[in-house]
Each structure stands twice: as C-alpha cells, then as structure tokens.
Amino acid sequence: MFRKDIFLRFSATALALCAFSAHAAPLQATQYADFDRYVLALSWQTGFCQSMHDRDRNEPDECRLQKESQNKTDFLTVHGLWPSLPKSIASRGVDDRRWMRFGCATRPIPNMPEAKASRKCAAAETGLSFEAAAKLNSVMPGAGGESCLERYEYAKHGVCFGFDPDAYFGTMVRMNQEVKGSALGKFLANNYGKTVSRRDFDEAVAKSWGKASVKAVKLTCNNNPAYLTEMQISLNAATINAPLTAASFAPQPHPGNCGKQFVIDKVGY
C-alpha cells in the first residue's frame, strides 16, 4: 500500500521528474477479453464529499482535509474504469446487474475474492509501481492512505482481466487529463459553484468530441437542489489506448438523474 503522507513530502518538481509516462504500456486484457466497452467513472470530488456529509456518513480523509484549489479542474477526479460484461461470462448465465454488483467476484466465473466497499483496505494490494502510484495519487484522492480506493477498484474491476496495474491506472490518469483539458473541463472550471443546465453541459461535451458523444455520458446528482457528484462515460473497448475522439464513445441507455439544472458544487458544506 502506498501512503499519502509520504508523497506529500515531494515537491511538484520531484513528482514531475519521477512521474511515469501514461502511454508507456497499452491496456490489454489477458483473459475474459471479449467485452466491447468500458465505463470511465469520474467524480466531481466536492459533490462527492458533499453527498457523504449530507447522508451523515463518516467523511474519508480526502473529504475532511479537502482544500480550495486555484485550478478548478483539480476537482474532476478518478473513480474507476469498469469493463462491461464479457461474452464468455454472460454465456454462463450472468447478467449485467450481477456483473456490475460483483465484478471479478461474480459466480460461477471469475469467482475471485469479493471486494467490499465497506472494507476497501481488505482488498489485495495492486502491485502498482511507485511512479504509477504517485501519478494516480494526484487524481484519485481516495487512493492509498486509509481509503484504499485503488485496491478496491482493481480487485473488483481489474484483476480478473489480468490487467497490468500500471497500464490500468495509467489509462485512467491519461483520460482524466484529456477530459480536464477539453471544452468540458473548461466548462466545469468556469461554472465552479454555479448552477448550470444539462443542455449547456451537453453542449460542452459535444464541443469536445461531437454530438454523438453526448449519449455516452451518464450524470449522477444528489439532493434538492441537485449537485453533480459523478459522470460515467461509456467508451468503446477497441479505442481505449488511443486519445479520446468521437470514435471513442459508445451510447448508453440512460442519461442519469441530474435533470434540467444542477450545481457544480464547490468546496465546503
């Protein structure tokens, strides 16, 4: 397990020098590779923390210690990368609902040890290199420390595919950076703390990757008035190792629950 208190001792320059290349190794499944899409889950971190507070849940360190940032796209963080149900597993009677609930622990296959959201640190260590862990730590606030989000995500969605951990998490880091640098990232930063319309949000997605990409984005909001907590982006598996383009996106059936207007939440309760 890697620890945040260790990484905080490094300056930004030192981290830049040791950071691994996001393009160093392609993401490839060595087993159960017959799936057609991934879901890239990105959190709006301030909204996630607000939702934990509103539901009276124990705030993790990354929320309790959250601070304002000059660069508002810093709050667009990595949650996970989830392969869809492989055909070889579906043929054994597994449906999408069971697959999304249990992932690599699904029976009869892959039938690996179950990772529980309430006990993330009980999951096995990922085997991430120090360089990859440092890079991931900068965009996944729940990684390492006492939250162990990366261990949970790899145990549930990665290990049964034989993904190289550096390639798996490096792909998330790369795509998170691409979204931050897009028109959508600029839209989120420019509307920090403001109420936006779903129409304007969708226009920013379309400006980034074309109109068809809008159908690939599912949004999750909490409370009333609603505030954004997460976006789930459906991506074609065949394009996962290429930069995001119009061809990367795969439509999904539900746009989420955010409604016509929602808040791009800011730090604080």
- Could you give the residue numbers annotated as active site? 79, 153, 157
Sequence-distant (6+) residues with CB within 8 A of 88 are 32, 34, 109
Amino acid at 4: K
Per-residue exposure over 131-169, b if at least 16 CB sit within 10 Å of its own CB, e if not: bbbbbbbbbbbbbbbebbbbbbbbbbbbbbbebbbbbbb
d(CA 180, CA 87): 33
DSSP state of 249: B
d(CA 112, CA 121): 16
Can you name the residues that pair with 221 across neighbouring β-strands? 228
> Do the Cβ atoms of 63 and 229 come closer than 8 Å?
no
Per-residue exposure over 86-105, b if at least 16 CB sit within 10 Å of its own CB, e if not: beebeeeebeeeebeebbbb
Q: What are phi and psi of 101, to 5 degrees?
A: -75, -45
Q: Largest Cα–Cα distance in the chain?
A: 51
Sequence-distant (6+) residues with CB within 8 A of 39 are 81, 82, 84, 232, 233, 234, 235
